[in-house]
Amino acid sequence: MAQIWLIRHGQTDWNVQGRWQGQTPDAPPLNATGVAQAHALAETLAQHAEQAAFQALYSSDLLRARQTAEIIALRLRLPVRLDPRLREVNLGAWEGMLGEDVALRYVAELDERKRNPVHSRPPQGETVFELAARVGQALDDIARAHPNGNVLVVSHGLAIATALCMANGTLLDQVFAHMPDNAALHVIAWRS
Main-chain phi, psi angles of 132, to 5 degrees: -60, -35
Please say if 178 is a catalytic residue.
no
Provide the CATH topology of domain 2-190.
Answer: Rossmann fold (3.40.50)
Please say if 88 is a catalytic residue.
yes
- Residue-wise pLDDT tens digits, 44-103: 999 998 888 999 999 999 999 999 999 999 999 999 999 999 999 999 999 999 999 999
Q: What is the rounded CA–CA span in Å between residue 150 and residue 127?
A: 29
Determine contact, residues 76/48, Cβ cutoff 8 Å: no
Options 43, 48, 70, 88, the catalytic residue = 88
The domain spans of the chain are 2-190
- Residue-wise pLDDT tens digits, 17-38: 999 999 999 999 999 999 999 9
Is-above-0.85 flag for pTM? yes
Options 9, 146, 156, 178, the catalytic residue = 9
